[in-house]
Amino acid sequence: MPAVALQLSRSAPGEQRRFERHEVEVGWQASVLDALFAAQRKSAPDLAFRFSCRVGMCGSCAMVVNGRERLACSTLVRTLGSELRIEALRNLPVVRDLVTDMRPFFDAHQRAMPQFIPRQGLNDFERLPHDGAAWQALNHQPQCIDCGACWSACSLVTMHPRYLGPMALHRALSLVVDPRDGAKEERLARVAGEDGAFRCHTLGNCRDACPRGISPTQSIERLKRLALGAKLKAWLSRLSGTAATE
């Protein structure tokens, strides 16, 4: 079995972050998560990291490997070489080692109104035909797994902690374009504010980091267009109302 050198970010409450080198032996099909387990069994028994499903669906094992956000369970060691530098996600407080406090990420999610709010008169089982425009608007990208990779990779989050971030804005778009949701105007006003879509500089870091192939950049651009359209519509409505009273 090939030997792999791991440079692991280690820290505990009240301690300065440091990197420890650990060498492990792994199989040809080993994932980064397997390598972490090997280190834990051998020379780093107190190493802290998160994992759950181990099949790339829950997002809990997201971390920075060789400078890029990845899911540890679905990233093969052999695709990265024999030297791995593994760190916790960026833009989040580190609890211990590779474990981050995800509350800032989910707090931003909540500020974007992520919950579905049925419109008045909605039937319990209203369906959208799969060949219709409404369904196509909803089904434009894969399902987000809330791993936090986009938040970690986003330089705007680094510079502006109040920025809603890629995942929250991506989720907001899916609700804004859903004809069954009844809070389109309020949600659009929230995500189009100073901390929302127009803060994005369209660098695409979130798109490159997403393990599911989602492009939050694309979703944010759509939100910008929808927000501008709503503002223009409101302005024209006020203009026509003023003209009618003259």
User: Could you write out the DSSP letters of every residue in the chain?
Assistant: --EEEEEEEE--TT---EEEEEEEE--TT-BHHHHHHHHHHHT-TT-----SSSSSSS-TTEEEETTEEEEGGGSBGGGT-SEEEEEPPSSS-EEETTEE--HHHHHHHHHT--S--BPTT--TT----TTSHHHHHHTSSPPP---SHHHHH-HHHHH-TT---HHHHHHHHHHHT-TTBS-HHHHHHHHTSTTSGGG-----HHHHH-TT---HHHHHHHHHHHHHHHHHHHHHHHHHHHHHH-
pTM of the entire structure? 0.89
Shared domain for 121 and 45, answered yes or no, is: no
State which of 84, 100, 116 marks the end of a domain.
100
Question: Residue 240: what pLDDT?
Answer: 75
Structural domain total, the chain: 2
pLDDT tens digits, residue range 26-58?
999 999 999 999 999 999 999 999 999 999 999
- The low-confidence residues of the chain, meaning pLDDT below 70, are 1, 139, 242-246
Q: Are residues 131 and 223 in the same domain?
A: yes
The per-residue pLDDT for 245 is: 59
CATH number at residue 15: 3.10.20.30
pLDDT reported for residue 176: 92
pLDDT at residue 139, as a whole number: 67
Where is the domain boundary, 100, 120, 136? 100
Residues 180, 81 share a domain: no
Last-in-domain residue among 46, 68, 100:
100
pLDDT at 123: 75
Are 55 and 112 within one domain? no
Q: Are residues 179 and 144 in the same domain?
A: yes
Q: Which domain holds residue 59?
A: 3-100
Tell me, yes or no, whether 134 and 219 share the same domain.
yes
